Amino acid sequence: MPTRRANARPPEGPAQGGRGRDPNTRPSPGLLEADVAVVGAGAAGLYTALTAARQGARVALVSATPLAESASYWAQGGLAAAIAFDDSPQLHLEDTIAAGRGAVRPSAAEVLCAEAPARVQELEQLGVRFDADRRGRLALGLEGGHSARRIAHAGGSATGRRITRQLSALVAEDERIAVLERRRAAGLWMVDGRAVGLVCDDGRAIATRAAVLATGGAAALWARTTNPPGAVGAGMVIAHAAGAALADLELMQFHPTAVVAPDGAGDDVDGFLITEAIRGEGATLLDEDGERFVDELAPRDEVARAIQDRLRESSATAVRLDMRAVDAGRFPNVVATLRRAGIDPAREPIPVAALDEPPAARGAPPPLASVRAPDATPVPETRAALWRHAGLVRTPEGLRELASDPHPLARLIAACALAREESRGVHRRADHAELDPALDLKHAVSRPQRAPSFERWE
Ligand SMILES: Cc1cc2nc3c(=O)[nH]c(=O)nc-3n(C[C@H](O)[C@H](O)[C@H](O)COP(=O)(O)OP(=O)(O)OC[C@H]3O[C@@H](n4cnc5c(N)ncnc54)[C@H](O)[C@@H]3O)c2cc1C
């Protein structure tokens, strides 16, 4: 990651602080001050840091992992924005609400759809080069759940890589942004219920007027995942430990077309996500008899469920994604990864499956031990338990077992999934197969020390 390091050697790092001293108890290393502390260097964190700096703020950007380990870097298909002349934010909103199965917060979706075209334009102004058609206009892809072509992409299917590279180069140049690489935020520094800073796992405190937790999602808590290993919901655990409410934990998307790699193909290929933009360009899903069995452009949860049903009926381990009729040149990184695994998508369909299984008076900085949130790193047993009990189909018995898992976020996920006694979109309960209209627009909210409660969000 081409970033400028801030205080790469902390004043009281191991050299001065004494080898082997416990960071929980040693005095806080030198205090760093900033207007805004941003945790996470994915697209959200990088963009937040740049935006705050452009408004004149001094920013501290804390990143646990190198760039290539953020989900943003891995994102393939692109960004949805109603840019085409025959499209509109209103149509985009209608598609979003329909795909959300009554669980979408309309006011949030409105902002998303209304602002998306301007955000794409802004990324272009920041130097991100999106793919263009022959006339120089943005080339827009089609994806599941969308009734119009509205996916802006870069480098074929390397959109996330292009965006994060460009944004991190701008961050590196920006004098107002101090980057603390390979540091992990461990807890929020709270005074009177307000965050006045944060503390990293080496004990360093950052005093700030605002802290933004942009640590990505929690999909890597599940045993099989398309996400990088750092996506374990660290920010959610930190926020919850500091008193924040979390919502919608039971709703986890399972991507329908992740590669089932042949034996010996390597870990980087098994579970590799094949962007649905490829289905948008005409790739089809075939069962073991070579027959199509689902509308490939239906919303993801529908496609994932159709694949799982077909696998259960046939006892096969994978269905096939046939992209032989698609221009492979548009998706160079997908083709290269598949070829490494011995699969030539120009000649043969690809085996894929459902991966079934969100300036105050502050005094002296607190010692790490007093603010440290529970460790978000899952043990393999937790990942296996989430996969088993909080996958595509959930049972109350399995969820109750998960509710006593040692991982704090796994327990909260189980509690929310138990509370939602219905099947809706990605959340499917074996004992409550139908959608419950009484839960339309209702979100399971998890507050510290309380059982989840349902709140209606307009
Ligand atoms: C394979 C794949 C393909 C995808 N394709 C698309 C797509 O085509 N279109 C689309 O819209 N979305 C796509 N997504 C989803 C999209 O990538 C994510 O929703 C988005 O990138 C999330 O961005 P983020 O900045 O919030 O989090 P991330 O990119 O995950 O970044 C999180 C950052 O937080 C850091 N971090 C975590 N914990 C700590 C801590 N305790 N202290 C300090 N730093 C911490 C991590 O190191 C990382 O830098 C895809 C995801 C994957 C995995």
pLDDT per residue over 332-369, tens digit each? 878 888 888 788 888 888 888 785 443 566 778 888 88
Cα torsion 99, 102, 104, 106: sign: positive
Cβ atoms 41, 61 nearer than 8 A: yes
Atom of ligand 1 nearest to the CA of 273: 1
Q: How confident is the model at residue 153 (pLDDT cuts 50, 70, 90)?
A: very high
Query: Does 392 lie in the same domain as 327?
Result: no
pLDDT at 265 > cutoff 80: no
How far is it between the farthest Cα atoms of the chain?
69
pLDDT at 1: 37
Closest C-alpha among 69, 67, 46 to residue 2: 67
Atom of ligand 1 nearest to the CA of 238: 41
**% of the chain beyond a pLDDT of 70:** 89
Query: Does 378 lie in the same domain as 329?
Result: no
pLDDT at 25 > cutoff 80: no
**Long-range Cβ contacts of 331-337 (<8 Å, 24+ apart):** 331/76, 331/156, 331/157, 331/275, 331/277, 331/278, 332/155, 332/156, 332/157, 332/158, 333/76, 333/155, 333/156, 333/157, 333/158, 334/76, 334/157, 334/274, 334/275, 334/278, 337/259, 337/268, 337/269, 337/272
Mapping DSSP to helix (H, G, I), strand (E, B) and coil, where does residue 220 land?
helix
CA 415 to chain centre: 21
pLDDT at 15: 28
Does any domain span residue 226? no
CATH code of the domain in which 328 resides: 3.90.700.10
CA of 44 to the centre of ligand 1 (A): 8
Of all protein residues, whose CA lies closest to atom 52 belonging to ligand 1? 75
Of all protein residues, whose CA lies closest to atom 53 belonging to ligand 1? 227
Rounded mean pLDDT, 11-40: 59
Rounded mean pLDDT, 373-378: 93
Q: Per the structure block, which two tokens stand in for 122?
A: 């802004």
CA of 225 to the centre of ligand 1 (A): 13
Closest C-alpha among 206, 245, 250 to residue 371: 206
As a dihedral over the C-alpha atoms of residue 324, residue 326, residue 328, residue 332, rounded to 10 degrees, the angle is: -120
Confirm whether 165 is a catalytic residue.
no
Rounded mean pLDDT, 401-406: 97
pLDDT at 11 > cutoff 80: no
Query: Does 344 lie in the same domain as 299?
Result: yes
CA of 180 to the centre of ligand 1 (A): 18
pLDDT at 266 > cutoff 80: no
Q: Which residue type is seen at 229?
A: P
Of the listed ranges 56-65, 169-178, 244-253, 296-305, the least confidently predicted one is 296-305
pLDDT at 20 > cutoff 60: no
Of all protein residues, whose CA lies closest to atom 20 belonging to ligand 1? 72
Atom of ligand 1 nearest to the CA of 227: 53
Domain final residue pick, 157, 180, 210 = 157
pLDDT at 264: 63
Does any domain span residue 409? yes
Q: How far apart are CA 330 and CA 344, in angstroms?
A: 15
Q: How far apart are CA 166 and CA 278, in angstroms?
A: 25
Which of 50, 69, 76, 333 for mutating ligand 1's site (highest number of atoms within 8 Å of CB)? 76
Does any domain span residue 24? no
pLDDT at 115: 97
Closest C-alpha among 370, 67, 401 to residue 191: 370
CATH code of the domain in which 405 resides: 1.20.58.100
As beta bridge partners, residue 1 has none
Q: How far apart are CA 219 and CA 382, in angstroms?
A: 12
Does any domain span residue 81? yes
pLDDT at 262 > cutoff 70: no
pLDDT at 392 > cutoff 50: yes
Does any domain span residue 427? yes
Q: How far apart are CA 231 and CA 224, in angstroms?
A: 13
Of the listed ranges 100-104, 159-163, 267-271, the least confidently predicted one is 267-271
Q: How confident is the model at residue 254 (pLDDT cuts 50, 70, 90)?
A: confident
pLDDT at 174: 96
Active-site residue (options: 165, 183, 279, 300):
300
CA of 72 to the centre of ligand 1 (A): 4
pLDDT at 424 > cutoff 80: yes
Residue-averaged pLDDT of the chain: 87
Starting at the edge strand found earlier in the chain, the sheet holding 79-80 runs 79-80, 151-152, 140-141
Of all protein residues, whose CA lies closest to atom 9 belonging to ligand 1? 78
Which of 50, 70, 171, 198 for mutating ligand 1's site (highest number of atoms within 8 Å of CB)? 70
Query: Does 91 lie in the same domain as 135?
Result: yes
pLDDT at 195 > cutoff 60: yes
Query: Does 331 lie in the same domain as 382?
Result: no
DSSP state, 5? B
Number of domains within the chain = 3
Query: Does 344 lie in the same domain as 284?
Result: yes
Does any domain span residue 320? yes
pLDDT at 68: 67
Does any domain span residue 286? yes
pLDDT at 380 > cutoff 50: yes
Domain final residue pick, 157, 178, 200 = 157
Query: Does 289 lie in the same domain as 335?
Result: yes
pLDDT at 18: 33
Cβ atoms 234, 185 nearer than 8 A: yes
Q: Per the structure block, which two tokens stand in for 35?
A: 């207007």
As beta bridge partners, residue 286 has 292, 320
Which of 38, 46, 62, 65 for mutating ligand 1's site (highest number of atoms within 8 Å of CB)? 65
pLDDT at 188 > cutoff 50: yes
Q: How far apart are CA 338 and CA 326, in angstroms?
A: 15
Ligand 1 site residues, Cβ closer than 6 angstroms: 39-45, 62-65, 69-72, 74-79, 160, 184-185, 214-216, 226-227, 230-231, 234, 273, 275
Expressed as residue numbers, the domain containing 104 is 77-157
Of the listed ranges 202-216, 312-326, 374-388, the least confidently predicted one is 312-326
Query: Does 342 lie in the same domain as 267?
Result: yes
CA of 327 to the centre of ligand 1 (A): 28
Query: Does 339 lie in the same domain as 389?
Result: no
pLDDT at 167 > cutoff 70: yes
DSSP per-residue letters across 152-208? E-STTT-HHHHHHHHHHHHHHH-TTEEEEET--EEEEEEETTEEEEEEETTS-EEE-
Cβ atoms 15, 33 nearer than 8 A: no
pLDDT at 325: 87
Rounded mean pLDDT, 270-298: 84
Query: Does 447 lie in the same domain as 383?
Result: yes
Q: How confident is the model at residue 27 (pLDDT cuts 50, 70, 90)?
A: very low
Domain final residue pick, 306, 328, 353 = 353
Q: Per the structure block, which two tokens stand in for 313?
A: 């009926």
pLDDT at 386 > cutoff 60: yes
Which of 46, 74, 159 for mutating ligand 1's site (highest number of atoms within 8 Å of CB)? 74
Residue, of 87 and 262, whose pLDDT is higher: 87
Q: How confident is the model at residue 225 (pLDDT cuts 50, 70, 90)?
A: confident
Query: Does 144 lie in the same domain as 82?
Result: yes
CA of 259 to the centre of ligand 1 (A): 20
Mapping DSSP to helix (H, G, I), strand (E, B) and coil, where does residue 23 land?
coil
Query: Does 121 lie in the same domain as 88?
Result: yes
Q: How confident is the model at residue 3 (pLDDT cuts 50, 70, 90)?
A: very low
CA of 168 to the centre of ligand 1 (A): 14
Rounded mean pLDDT, 252-256: 81
Does any domain span residue 218? no
pLDDT at 279 > cutoff 70: yes
pLDDT at 263: 66
